[in-house]
Amino acid sequence: MSDKTEVLNEPEYYGNVYIVELETYPKLSSKSMNNVKVTFKDYQGYMYSDFYLNYPDGQIEGGGVYLTLFLSLINERKVTLKTNGFIGAHGEKYITGVIVV
């Protein structure tokens, strides 16, 4: 997460999307060594990137979200992504939940 104090906004949802890439060890900052950059596309083919796991380290939310994203990637399943509404200093957003559709 950002060094700034996090102010949570309303959650945002990205529905019926396909995960196209999971990149481990993104170099967003020195504190993001154990995170995953998520790239996905919507039904119109528009690509989204700069999405990261909200809880990457040692919490069930991070592991469960990562596993669900990974399985949807390899099985080409549509998902709905939920973010916490926070936009970081580099324009990044943080995924807090995944619904397999």
Average pLDDT over residues 88-100: 90
Rounded to 5 degrees, φ, ψ at 60 are -60, -30
Q: Under CATH, what is the fold of the domain 7-100?
A: OB fold (Dihydrolipoamide Acetyltransferase, E2P) (2.40.50)
Quote the percentage of the chain above a pLDDT of 70: 76
DSSP secondary structure letter of residue 74? H
Element of type H or E holding 61: helix 60-74
pLDDT at 4: 41
User: Would you say 19 and 75 are in contact if contact means Cβ atoms under 8 Å apart?
Assistant: no
* pLDDT exceeds cutoff 60 at 7: no
Domains of the chain by residue range: 7-100
Q: What is the value of pTM for the model shown?
A: 0.81
pLDDT in tens, 66-80: 899 999 999 999 999
Distance, in Å, from the CA atom of 48 to the CA atom of 57, rounded to the nearest integer, reads 23
- Residue linked to tokens 């102010």: 7
Average pLDDT over residues 40-69: 84
